[in-house]
Amino acid sequence: MRGVMGIDKRKKVSCVLKKTPPPAVILAAGMGSRLRKRNGGIPKPLTRYLGLTLLERAIKTCMRAGIREFYVVVGYKKEMVKKHVEELKKKYRVPIEVIENPNWERGNGTSVLAALRRLKKPFILLMCDHVFDPEIVKTFVERAMESGTSLLAVDPRKDWVFDLEDATKVKLRGDNIVDIGKELENFNGIDMGLFYCLPDFTIALEEAAEEGEYSLSAGVRFLAGKKRIKAVKMDGRMWFDLDTPESIDHARKVVLESISTKGEDGYISRFLNRKISTRISGWLVNTRITPNTISVISFVIALAGAFLFGVKGYLWTLFAGILVQLASIVDGCDGEIARLRMQSSRFGAWFDTLLDRYADMAIALGVTYGYWLVNPHPLAWIGCAVAVTGFILASYTRKEYALRYGVPIPSGPFDKLTKRDLRLFGIFLGAIFNRPFLAMVILGGISHIYILSRLVSTYVSGREFQG
Amino acid sequence: MRGVMGIDKRKKVSCVLKKTPPPAVILAAGMGSRLRKRNGGIPKPLTRYLGLTLLERAIKTCMRAGIREFYVVVGYKKEMVKKHVEELKKKYRVPIEVIENPNWERGNGTSVLAALRRLKKPFILLMCDHVFDPEIVKTFVERAMESGTSLLAVDPRKDWVFDLEDATKVKLRGDNIVDIGKELENFNGIDMGLFYCLPDFTIALEEAAEEGEYSLSAGVRFLAGKKRIKAVKMDGRMWFDLDTPESIDHARKVVLESISTKGEDGYISRFLNRKISTRISGWLVNTRITPNTISVISFVIALAGAFLFGVKGYLWTLFAGILVQLASIVDGCDGEIARLRMQSSRFGAWFDTLLDRYADMAIALGVTYGYWLVNPHPLAWIGCAVAVTGFILASYTRKEYALRYGVPIPSGPFDKLTKRDLRLFGIFLGAIFNRPFLAMVILGGISHIYILSRLVSTYVSGREFQG
């Protein structure tokens, strides 16, 4: 199951000037000493997190924000990182230039300076060990494109950060940065490690360096004093600073728990399937298995269930029901993994939807065949065809409405009762009570009532085009 | 069957300034002497043409172009026309003001003068006895909103006009009007009776009147001499000047022959069904029957066919096949009548589509039941469910694709073979040869191959979102 209907939510009258986003500089020079134990010497940018290396995730996140030009500052184990950059260049077909920083051990300010000297134009700056909900970077880039000063993304939520003690704190007044540093006692925001750097950052970092300070924060403090940098408050979305094994475990846990397609999930999906599927996804995300393969696996499990429904005997029926419910759970994993790895695709979502429809047909045929073996009356088959039609047409109606009216169908009392999670769970329950056919017919009936109710309510609400 | 998927063809980046279109002035003052014989004294604006009075059609056409303010100039039998205006005001909930022209008998220039004196701002001017493809008026209004001079719509096609002798001819050089009049020998365009009038039209008409000329053309000639009016060439779309019974018959004929949903029609629809359905529509369009009612009638005919397929005996099967093909033909009428009467609605199209899906299910059940009576094997029913699923999923796949990719699914070799017109004709042919079940299974199989081919070709073409 994958959510997100491809509905165009743009306003009817829009006026967009298409500017090119600035390039992104990704800091990947540090050693990541606290991660080294677990990593066995792999440099930090190559650390895998939810199926992607940190560097790959940083690049994909920026690409979602429209960025198409990359610079990666390397230092520690630079040959390994450079090799990985070459792989990413090929994979995503975007220009990624390597900037070497021989002074990386002094502090991350030196890496930024190296980038400033190379680029001589504004850029987005991010640390490769900070992972962001893509929407954060997207919003930040939009703000950057309109900004006349450098910017720093700041999270006002103190309780969001896993290791507050180690976080860089920021004291804000409005969107002015009053102070910044790890040791601040009095602060009201956390440095998210996401910057927009104008060329005047160079002077700031050079000044700080003259005083023997080589951190990026020192440069920010200098700029802040001259009101040449502003804070952009980012609230409500997820980001993580992954500098210890514990923080990685924490981030994984939080992300997996929140991976459901909000609002679109049915009851069973939300309260049962997701609990299990997210565990499976957490394990599968680090394998090479693709979301489309998982769609096929879920389909095959459903087919096996369908087949067993056609075999006489309660135990087979029960087993078939379990398989069907298992297929329903696994069907959650394709979308989860696609989202975790930022691999979502329109084709994948379509492929998954189509397999779901075929699986539903197969299950209905299996259930009916099993029933017909005991009650050989043609009405059983007519019930089967009517139920299958209901299952498919419920989904069909949602698409039809979205296509014709340009907005999702308004949800009604029957809405969540006609979703696939509940349908398959209903058949599973039916199997437990040895009445899968009855369950199927009831669910089919509900689907038809749903379709009729949507039709009538649309007619009554007069969403008619009179012209 | 109704065409036109609700796909948004707007470009991704658009920049639209929303200006209000000018008001429309509709000339409805003349007597229409040459129509009087047929009409039995009904004034011209109240003449019915394809289910609407000429005045109603003029207003609906302008509403499609975004116009929301109307003025109707009346003269001959003004009380009857005024009463009709009141009805239209209520029906369409738009302001329509009546302007009385006591001098209507002198010439149509006097009616325009009456409007100019009342409005004192630019307006679109049309004759109520000219009917236009709504796109003509839409394009003209868009041009008018950007124009600094008055405009006249001119059709360069001399052979388009039914009664060339009586038409007002125009001689153009570029978009300058060199001469205008009914008697012109040397001309390269036809006055379409659609104007954009700036206030300087007043002087032109008054000057012409002083010379004893009370026609609109005289005013245009005056303005053209001062280069204060330009021609807008309109080509390739339909419009008609309905001033004689013969011209009305001609227009009806041309419109009905071209009413098919271009490009979207399947083979059977195009070469068989439309030939019959347009005749039925031409007759039904003047009744009070609504397109939705016709959708229901087609559905009921299909249900009757489905039922008869379940009765043993070749004659019943043949009769059932004929009913199914009849349902397919009648299914064309709802959309035709909706388009003829400018009544198309998103709800209607959705309602029709859904009824089609249910009718297909019923037909498949009937066909299978009839087959099963002779060959009582469960495989028959499995074939039924698979075929129905194929029928619905072929349509489902088209919607799914349109929704996810924002464009219609690319048509392939199987495309037109999976449309409903061919499906029902195939079952009709099957019935003739007493093999409706075989026909259904083959058609179902084609549908599944189509779905698979669309999926594979999309995957291969790499319309994948990589981000």
From B204's Cα to the closest Cα of chain A, the distance in A is 35
Nearest to B59, CA basis, from B98, B33, B102, B30: B98
Whether the predicted pLDDT of B306 surpasses 70: yes
DSSP at B4:
-
Has residue A15 been placed in a domain? no
Contact assignment for A16 to B13 by CB distance below 8 Å: yes
pLDDT recorded at residue A465: 42
Does residue A266 sit in the same domain as residue A237?
Answer: no
Final residue of a domain: which of A190, A210, A244? Answer: A244
CB atoms within 10 A of CB A300: 15
Q: What is the CATH number of the domain that holds A209?
A: 3.90.550.10
Whether the predicted pLDDT of B12 surpasses 60: no
Q: What is the CATH number of the domain that holds B308?
A: 1.20.120.1760
pLDDT recorded at residue B196: 95
pLDDT recorded at residue B263: 67
When the pLDDT of each residue in chain A is averaged and rounded to a whole number, the result is: 89
| Residue B358 with chain A: CB contacts under 8 Å | 389, 393
Does residue A77 sit in the same domain as residue A221?
Answer: yes
A196-235 per-position pLDDT tens digit: 999 988 988 998 888 888 888 888 888 888 889 999 998 8
Does residue A147 sit in the same domain as residue A275?
Answer: no
Q: How confident is the model at residue A331 (pLDDT cuts 50, 70, 90)?
A: very high
pLDDT recorded at residue A40: 73
Does residue B281 sit in the same domain as residue B186?
Answer: no
Has residue B119 been placed in a domain? yes
Q: Are B242 and B248 in contact (CB under 8 A)?
A: yes
Final residue of a domain: which of A183, A217, A244? Answer: A244
Has residue A324 been placed in a domain? yes
Does residue A276 sit in the same domain as residue A225?
Answer: no
For B74, list phi and psi in degrees, rounded to 5: -115, 160
pLDDT recorded at residue A182: 87
Q: How confident is the model at residue B463 (pLDDT cuts 50, 70, 90)?
A: low
Has residue A331 been placed in a domain? yes
Does residue A231 sit in the same domain as residue A302?
Answer: no
pLDDT recorded at residue A225: 87
Contact assignment for A347 to B466 by CB distance below 8 Å: no
Bridge partners of residue A97, in order along the sequence: A71
Bridge partners of residue B239, in order along the sequence: B132
Whether the predicted pLDDT of B4 surpasses 50: no
Whether the predicted pLDDT of B367 surpasses 50: yes
A344-384 per-position pLDDT tens digit: 889 999 999 999 999 999 999 999 999 999 999 999 999 99
Q: How confident is the model at residue A18 (pLDDT cuts 50, 70, 90)?
A: low
Contact assignment for B342 to A467 by CB distance below 8 Å: yes
Whether the predicted pLDDT of A10 surpasses 60: no
Does residue B129 sit in the same domain as residue B216?
Answer: yes
Best mean pLDDT range from A21-35, A252-266, B71-85: B71-85
pLDDT recorded at residue B13: 38
| Residue A385 with chain B: CB contacts under 8 Å | 361, 364-365, 368, 381, 384-385, 388
pLDDT recorded at residue B158: 84
Does residue B234 sit in the same domain as residue B295?
Answer: no
Q: How confident is the model at residue B414 (pLDDT cuts 50, 70, 90)?
A: confident
Q: How far apart are CA B155 and CA B140, in angstroms?
A: 12
Whether the predicted pLDDT of A125 surpasses 60: yes
Report the chain B residue with the minimal C-alpha distance to residue A6: B404
Whether the predicted pLDDT of A458 surpasses 60: yes
Has residue A19 been placed in a domain? no
Residue B267's Cβ-side half-sphere holds a number of Cα atoms within 13 Å equal to: 10
Has residue B86 been placed in a domain? yes
| Residue of A303, A345, A403 to mutate, interface with B, max B Cβ within 10 Å | A403
A383-432 per-position pLDDT tens digit: 999 999 999 999 999 999 999 898 888 887 788 889 999 999 999 999 99
Whether the predicted pLDDT of B456 surpasses 50: yes
pLDDT recorded at residue B431: 98
pLDDT recorded at residue B2: 55
From B61's Cα to the closest Cα of chain A, the distance in A is 8
Overall average pLDDT of the A104-132 stretch:
92
pLDDT recorded at residue A396: 94
pLDDT recorded at residue B162: 87
Contact assignment for A397 to B354 by CB distance below 8 Å: yes
Does residue B217 sit in the same domain as residue B85?
Answer: yes
What global pTM score does this model have? Answer: 0.86
Overall average pLDDT of the B106-114 stretch:
90
* B208 SS3 class: helix
Backbone dihedral region for residue B20 (phi beyond 0: left; psi -120 to 50: alpha; all else: beta): beta
Alpha-carbon separation of residue A382 from A29, A361, A437, B366 (angstroms): 67, 13, 12, 10
Final residue of a domain: which of B250, B276, B303? Answer: B250
Report the chain A residue with the minimal C-alpha distance to residue B387: A385
Does residue B210 sit in the same domain as residue B306?
Answer: no
Does residue B146 sit in the same domain as residue B281?
Answer: no
Domain that holds residue A329: 259-458
B167-198 per-position pLDDT tens digit: 899 999 988 998 998 888 889 999 999 999 99
Q: How far apart are CA B169 and CA B391, in angstroms?
A: 53
Does residue A222 sit in the same domain as residue A315?
Answer: no
Has residue B225 been placed in a domain? yes
Whether the predicted pLDDT of A466 surpasses 70: no
Has residue B19 been placed in a domain? no
Number of domains in chain B: 2
CB atoms within 10 A of CB B345: 18
